[in-house]
Chains A and B, each alone.
Chain A
Amino acid sequence: MNPQLSPDEKREALWQGKLSPKDPQGNPLPFQSPEAEKKYKERILRVKAAIEMEKLPDRVPVTIFPSMFPWKYAGMTVQEAMYDYEKCAAAFKKFILDFDPDLQWGAYAPGPGRFFEILDYKLYSWPGHGVAPDCCYQCNEGEYMKPEEYDALIQDPTGYFIHVYLPRVFGVLGGFQMLPFFPGILEMYGLALTFIPFGLPPVQATFQALFEAGAEALKWVVPIGGLDVELATLGYPTLLGGFTKAPFDVIGDTLRGTRGIMLDIYRRPQKLLNAMEVLTPLMIQMGINSAQATGNPLIFIPLHKGADGFLSDEQFKNFYWPTLKEVILGLIEGGCVPLPAAEGGYSSRLEVVKDLPRGKTLWMIDLTDMADAKRTLGQNACIMGNVPSSLLNLGTPDEVRAYVKRIIEVAGKDGGLIISNGSFFDEAKPENVKAMVEAAKEYGGY
């Protein structure tokens, strides 16, 4: 991407790239029918207008952002979806064709089971590895970073990840502990001594496992990534460019864990703040890099430990929000559209997070009331949500329709709204999911 471009020009270039899609060889992507091409472009423009809040879209866009529902709908277990990549892709294709949303998010959620096995991934339990075949994978909370390791993380985050953190969460990456200190690779004198670890069996075993894991990832991404292209030719765009995280969640989810970070607020607040400061530019870069690599503008940011009930207002303002805000603004500066997902309740945070540049972000809303979200955050940001998992799972199509109608009435009047589920669901009645999509199309016209 041309570094001379302004943030708005970078973002517009990504959108224009989406509107003139290319095949993997760089030629114009052939659509399967003129109608598919028309739908594809209409859908992108519909979502773009909703996000940018400058002019009204033709109607409220609708999307389904599920967890394991597409595969349960296909009658598969989560285990099958994780281990049979072709079946995984085929099931997701059927899901999109059957439910006909404006926007699709790709078949990436299950991930390649064999790949996690090769790496002996310890951070999660997945079917056959700690949870039953029909369960979604779940995080094993723990203190993967020790309190006394803050200084190492702050001084050199990449070095800390390579030498300390990754060997803890991947059983086969033990060899990384022996790797040299890379900034020490400077001059010819003594250089060979630095490289000795690469000759040692534990390090070589780690690299062998990495080659194998990389090959497995490629094997997986051919059908799964290929499906995004195929769905585009059928008229279903994706805009998901990658993901990043709030620095507080980087530390609180998978480094120190919930308990660890909550104690750190009292025991070592300054180190926590310094570590988040150091992680912030890395989290911005992570989002921008993957938006550029995929050509998709939306960068997903799942928000976890700052929800209602986790922190006080003061703690949210002092510890959670400043670096998250920096990440959001940095992504905007880099031409991306940040997509924070306010998981759980966010009612008490709306007044804090609402002051963002207008028309530059998309917020997924879970349990927060959509009218409240619209009144505050929704003045500057497009909001997306919030049909509850419980309703999709246990309600009736009529109840779902009524719910969608209400969201459109209270939050959709002047654009800036996308209808979707509020949280990432596995189980649901198909007729309820269908009712959500149909109701948005029926009541969402402008």
Chain B
Amino acid sequence: MSEKLVNAIAEMREEEAIQLVRDMLDTGVKPMAILDAARQAMDIIGQQYEKGVYFLPELMMAGEIMGQIAEILKPKLAESPEVKRLGRVLIGTVQGDIHDIGKNIVTFMLDANGFEVLDLGVDVPPQKFVEAVRDFQPQVVGLSGFLTLAYDSMKATIQALEEAGLRDKVKVMIGGGSVDEHVRTYTGADAYGRDAVTGVSLAKKWIGVQ
């Protein structure tokens, strides 16, 4: 039944997936086993996105289905499950910019690939990034922005990390809108990405994941 669940989630058969979760619980399958199956499905979805088979509709549906399954399982899990994470990534849309579609996709993909992601949301001031780097201690910081104004906010954020003595503790990647090598040089970021797949591979490379 667990393989059926993996396939139902990975193929976006929402109602069937939810029914299977309920049936599995009724027949005594352990909540942790169900959660494992759901994670396997997320892996498949992430791979399909990287291959250019799945796009936004599938990522959004996957998020929805996972949310519902977590809701059903939560009361039945004694403690929150220990998950081995590859590393920590801090992410946010920089000050003055409230666009978040791209950032959310990158967050989803990093999460699906096993990273622990802290998403600070949109219009995040440099100081907030600095504080979060101190508290959360990420290896990678992702700065997102859609507007041309974001170039300056990205630069200011990286400078603030510099001034706080934190710049050499993290790798910084930027993405969104028209970012390219020009913007990377200007902002002082370590790399830029045009899509979520690049973001994931940068994080993997920097954190030393094979």
Contacts and interface: CB of A to CB of B under 8 A. Distances in A.
A310 B55 CA distance: 6
Contacts, number: 87
Contacts of B55: 309-312, 315
A405 B151 CA distance: 26
A310 B59 CA distance: 10
A418 to B, nearest CB: 19
A138 B99 contact: yes
A63 interface: no
A259 interface: yes
Nearest to A399: B182
Nearest to A269: B57
Contacts of A426: 147-149
Interface residues of B, number: 32
Contacts of B77: none
Contacts of B60: 259, 262-263
Interface in B138-183: 147-149, 151-152, 177-180, 182-183
A312 B98 contact: no
Interface in B33-88: 53-57, 59-61, 64
Contact of B98 (A134, A140, A422, A423): A140
Contacts of A131: 96, 98, 123
Contacts of B149: 134-136, 426-427
Interface string A372-390: 0000000000000000111
A267 B97 contact: no
Interface string A230-258: 00000000000000000000000000001
Given A258-B56, A259-B60, A394-B186, A389 B97 contact: no
Interface string A264-301: 01110000000000000000000000000000000000
B14 interface: yes
B182 A395 contact: yes
Contact of A389 (B12, B61, B178): B178
B56 A262 contact: yes
Interface in B112-155: 123, 147-149, 151-152
Contacts of A391: 182
A326 interface: no
Nearest to A343: B177
A312 B4 CA distance: 25
A263 B61 contact: yes
A393 interface: yes
Interface string A389-415: 111011100000000000000000000
29 contacts: A130-B98, A131-B123, A135-B96, A136-B147, A138-B147, A141-B101, A258-B56, A259-B60, A262-B59, A263-B57, A265-B57, A309-B56, A309-B195, A311-B56, A312-B53, A312-B54, A312-B55, A315-B57, A388-B178, A389-B177, A389-B178, A390-B148, A390-B151, A390-B180, A390-B183, A394-B151, A394-B185, A395-B182, A426-B147
Leading 6 A-B pairs by shortest Cβ distance: A262-B60, A262-B57, A394-B182, A427-B148, A265-B57, A389-B178
